[in-house]
Amino acid sequence: MLDTIAAAINAAVPGANAQVLTPEDAKLDSSVLVEALHIHAVAAHLKNSGTMNVLQCITGVDYVDYLEVVYVMAKFDPAAPAQLLLKVRLTDRENGALASIVDIYPAANFQERECWDMLGVRFNNHPDHRRILCPDDWEGFPLRKDYVAAKDYRGMQVYPEGKMNMGDREFIVRQDMIKKAQEAAAGKVQ
Amino acid sequence: MQNKWDIDGHAEAHTVNADTEKLKSDLLTLNMGPQHPATHGVLRVEIKTDSEIVAHAIPHLGYLHRCMEKHSENLDYRGVIPFVDRLDYLASMSMEWTYVAAVEKMLGTEVPRRAELLRILTVELQRIASHLMAFGTYALDLGSFSPFLYAFDEREKILRIFEEVSGARLLYNYIWVGGVWNDWSDEQLQRVGEFCDAFEPETDKYHALVSVNKIFVQRTADVGILSVQDCFDYGATGPVLRGSGYNWDLRKNMPYSLYPEFEFNVPVGTGEYGTIGDCWNRYIVRMLEVKESLKIIRQVLKKLEPGPVMGKVPKVLKLPKGEVYVRQECPRGELGIHLISEGGDSKEPYRLKVKSPCFTHVSMLPLMAPGQMVADFVATIGSIDIVLGEVDR
Amino acid sequence: MSHTVPHNSIRRYFGELFNAISTTLRGMWITFRYVWGVKVVSVEYPEVRIVLPERARMRLFNDAQNCISCTQCALACPVDCIYIASEKYPEGTDLKKASNGTPIRLKLTQFTIDTALCCYCGLCTTVCPTECLTHSHDYEFSQYTIDGMKYDYLAADVIAWRDRIVKA
């Protein structure tokens, strides 16, 4: 079924390069990967053709080389219920941006704000582009793999010494990912 | 830009200018702050009103944000279950089952039949408890105190049953990967049956006390109307979507577990009082769902047979590389768990995303608020039945 | 009122008035019955305390005599609230046996549970091989300081509670 959706997307939006990603294990979910530049056209096609009428969720994952934004869509039709995981990959971690689909699916409003808050993915033309769950002046994007929480926030200690067992409470930071990010930054500077 | 809330005649004030913006004093900003008895948690809504009518309602979230999604990246799969409990703490069993279903889908574990039936039994009891809480606090928001106490008396009986079986009243850690933690004794099952028999006439009492009461009807009928297209646009599910008249219940339309074996109806808002899609219809959908849950519980009690309650699960859980997205019908809507595993030797999830129904319902508040009175806005917030633990995670 | 009855009619006016009075009286009749003859459900705590069911998960208790320092509980804990430190016995000491027969090879030097961090999930009790870590039924242990919430299960006054909590 995902093949028909991918074929329809490719027919309607040239350049979208929709491909079906099928995992080897049959128990796991397949998804459709499209080009980041065409997400708005793809979403418009999915809504107008009636393939998927509800946007349930926009999540993001930080695979170190790229950020992946997953749009979980569903069709609420008792005759033919369906579900689609639409993926987009962004290689630019600093300034990666996607077109906002708020004008097509109003549900995207809060979901895109959360994606910005947690992963730092910008959405162009979003009406209210600010953090939603973290405080407005929080620094850093928590769900990135190289995120290290700041030691204090507005004078309050994030992990006060006397209150918690410090060795256990630090988020485990993967050293190779920080190193990679630093190398990438060093490579750019040079 | 001229909107109907501007004072007539201030043509100059429409140039965008920081000083003239401050002069626009015709809208009163009323802060329905994080500490409020009617916001069902720590929700802050910035209401801009023109006398009594709401012009804009801007929800500010994050007061209960604990970033459990990041914490779960450092916990093994069994250790995430107490964290998932604390999402929607009034319906913990449903949260646990959705997460465990995602892990089991990736592992391919076989869950014994008795464990599946016990899961359905606990989740339907939890649905009753959650809807009782929603009913009691909704009546309390609108000013009546007795239904709150009656509902909590019945809910207390359910919580005591849960305490005997799982050990805790609210955050159970009961539904485990592969089955359930503890078995129910025959005596406990018999007490569930007695509870159902004693509780059924209580639902009629609530109907007579609250649902048809003229004051309640006037406060909730024709208030906060959502069309089906609005619900689809914003992604509303559960009683909010069914209150707007659309028959969509995951237990029937995309069935999971042993739900196809059970006979129950899906209540839908019919506009008996007010219009379809208003607060009254969302409320009555919850009250009717309680009756359907009682039907399911009685069928489960008949079908239960002795057997194991835990399937074969390895001691250390290692999931294959890939992702799943699992949806289940929770009392407040459709909960989605997106679980990504790195595969290989990793014992922790790579990414756990919780698609929370209450988060999408809060995003509908700016849609429903304009044009209502502030008192109607309180009724609207109560009718979408949010729990901030789930909204903020 | 039904949508077929016209909005500004006398019939609607009196119909709604009758509806208001009748539904209010119906509701008041239901609540009025609670004045007499209904069993009071309030529990007059602290004079009366509910007996907790056997499986109730309240404060943890560790029977330090039986602990073999396997640290399974600390590894299973989702919030890392158990702090365990142990050292090997010198060579040749007579090893005592735990309740399930395993000889205790490690001397427990620290077993502290921070009950302020504990989330009372019970995962630690399920993995304990000697079942020395159990949930007691104690829920009245509030302290004046956060540090007071750290319970040292090797302290003499805590060991004195053993007989009250651990069933032989």
**pLDDT tens by residue, B196-206:** 999 999 999 99
The domain at C60-165 falls in which architecture?
2-Layer Sandwich (3.30)
For residue B340, which phi and psi values (nearest 5 degrees)?
Answer: -120, 130
Q: List, as ranges, residues 107-126 from C with C-beta within 8 Å of A.
A: 114, 117
In CATH terms, B68-392 corresponds, of 3.30.200.20, 3.40.630.30, 1.10.645.10, 2.170.150.20, to: 1.10.645.10
Q: How far is A180 from chain B (nearest CA, A)?
A: 18
What is the overall mean pLDDT for chain B? 88
Fill in the DSSP letter of residue C100.
T
Instruction: Please list the residues that pair with B176 across neighbouring strands.
Output: B179
pLDDT at B8: 39
The reply to whether A15 and A39 lie within a common domain is yes
Helix axes B374-384, B279-303, angle to 10 degrees: 20
Place of tokens 């699916």: A105
pLDDT at A161: 63
Helix (H) or strand (E) holding C156: helix C156-159
Q: Are B108 and B101 in contact (CB under 8 A)?
A: no
- Record: contact A56-B106, CB cut-off 8 A: no
Q: Are B94 and B335 in contact (CB under 8 A)?
A: yes
Q: Measured in whole angstroms, how far is the alpha carbon of residue A159 from the centre of its chain?
A: 28
Neighbours of C51 (CB within 10 A): 7
pLDDT at B367 over 70: yes
Q: List, as ranges, residues 15-74 from C with C-beta within 8 Å of B.
A: 16, 19-20, 23-24, 26-27, 30-31, 34, 41, 52-57
Q: Which residues of B touch C52 (CB under 8 A)?
A: 163
Fill in the DSSP letter of residue B72.
G
Tens digit of pLDDT at every position of chain A (190 positions): 888 888 888 888 888 888 888 888 888 888 999 988 889 999 999 999 888 889 999 999 998 888 999 999 999 988 888 899 999 999 888 888 899 999 999 999 999 999 999 999 999 989 888 899 998 888 889 898 888 888 788 888 876 665 554 443 333 333 444 555 667 667 665 5
For B129, residues 6+ apart whose C-beta sits below 8 A from its C-beta are B90, B91, B155, B158, B159
Rounded Cα distance between B103 and B112, Å, is 16
CATH code of the domain covering residue A104 = 3.30.460.80
Q: Chains meeting A at 3+ CB pairs closer than 8 A?
A: B, C
Domain presence at residue A140: no
pLDDT at C6: 66
pLDDT at A1: 80
Place of tokens 């930071």: A173
- The pTM for the full model equals 0.89
The reply to whether A34 and A127 lie within a common domain is yes
Rounded Cα distance between C13 and C5, Å, is 10
Rounded Cα distance between C129 and C111, Å, is 16
The letter for the amino acid at B380 is T
The reply to whether A117 and A162 lie within a common domain is no
Q: Are B334 and B326 in contact (CB under 8 A)?
A: no
Give the total number of structural domains in chain A. 2
Rounded Cα distance between B73 and B83, Å, is 12
The reply to whether A25 and A81 lie within a common domain is yes
Q: By C-alpha distance, which of A168, B181, B346 is closest to C125?
A: B181
Q: How far is B238 from chain A (nearest CA, A)?
A: 12
pLDDT at A159: 67
Neighbours of B197 (CB within 10 A): 11
Q: Which residues of A touch B241 (CB under 8 A)?
A: 76
Q: Are B269 and B245 in contact (CB under 8 A)?
A: yes
The reply to whether A22 and A104 lie within a common domain is yes
Q: By C-alpha distance, which of A59, A60, A62 is closest to A147?
A: A62
Q: How far is B89 from chain C (nearest CA, A)?
A: 13
The reply to whether A36 and A93 lie within a common domain is yes
B258-267, B370-379, C102-111: which has the minimum mean pLDDT? C102-111
For C73, residues 6+ apart whose C-beta sits below 8 A from its C-beta are C82, C84, C124, C125, C127, C128, C133
Q: Measured in whole angstroms, how far is the alpha carbon of residue B78 from the centre of its chain?
A: 23
Q: Where are the alpha helices (DSSP H) in chain B?
A: 18-23, 68-71, 80-85, 92-107, 113-141, 146-166, 186-206, 214-220, 228-234, 239-243, 250-253, 279-303, 357-362, 365-368, 374-384, 388-392
Confidence of residue B27 (pLDDT cuts 50, 70, 90): confident
Instruction: Please list the residues that pair with A72 across neighbouring strands.
Output: A57, A85
The reply to whether A113 and A158 lie within a common domain is no
Q: What is the pLDDT of residues B31-46, one digit of tens each?
A: 988 888 887 889 999 9
pLDDT at C2: 53
Q: What is the pLDDT of residues A103-116, one digit of tens each?
A: 999 999 999 999 99
Q: Which residues of A touch C114 (CB under 8 A)?
A: 165
Angle ∠(C146,C148,C149) on CA atoms, nearest 5: 70
Length of chain C equals 168
pLDDT at A166: 43
Q: Are B116 and B257 in contact (CB under 8 A)?
A: yes
Neighbours of B96 (CB within 10 A): 27
Dihedral sign from CA coordinates of B241, B247, B248, B250? positive
Residues of chain C with pLDDT under 70: 1-7, 163-168
For B220, residues 6+ apart whose C-beta sits below 8 A from its C-beta are B142, B274, B278, B279, B280, B283, B379, B383
Angle ∠(A57,A25,A34) on CA atoms, nearest 5: 45
* pLDDT mean over B5-15: 39
> Three-class SS of residue B148?
helix
Instruction: Please list the residues that pair with C136 across neighbouring strands.
Output: none
pLDDT at A180: 57
Confidence of residue B325 (pLDDT cuts 50, 70, 90): very high
- Record: contact A164-C147, CB cut-off 8 A: no
Tokens standing for residue B339:
């679980």
Rounded Cα distance between C58 and C119, Å, is 10
Domain limits, chain B: 68-392
Domain residue limits at A180: 145-190
Rounded Cα distance between B256 and B336, Å, is 13
